[in-house]
Amino acid sequence: MIITVAGEKKEYRDGITIRELIVAENVETPDYVSVSVNDEFVDSGAFESTALKDGDTVEFLYFMGGGR
């Protein structure tokens, strides 16, 4: 299946989960990443059980605090 990851179309096996994709994409600090699928945030507790589908768009996001 083809999914778009961070703006790039990539081929992965059918049914890959978000957790497996995080590992495959070698995401930095995976414990602190937020993931959106088709512009909807996915709860981190659902990464193991959420299977991606052909045509999905996935973004990895990091939120930073700070400032003055």
For residue 22, count CB atoms less than 10 angstroms from its CB and return exposed for 0-12, middle for 13-18, buried for 19 or more.
middle
Rounded to an integer, the average pLDDT of 55-68 is 84
Residue ranges of domains in the chain, CATH in brackets: 2-61 (3.10.20.30)
Please state the pTM of the whole predicted model. Answer: 0.89
- Expressed in percent and rounded to 5, the helix, strand and coil fractions of the chain are 20, 30, 50
Question: Tens digit of pLDDT for each residue in 3-36?
Answer: 999 999 999 999 999 999 999 999 988 989 999 9
Rounded to an integer, the average pLDDT of 38-63 is 96
Share of the chain above pLDDT 90, in %: 84
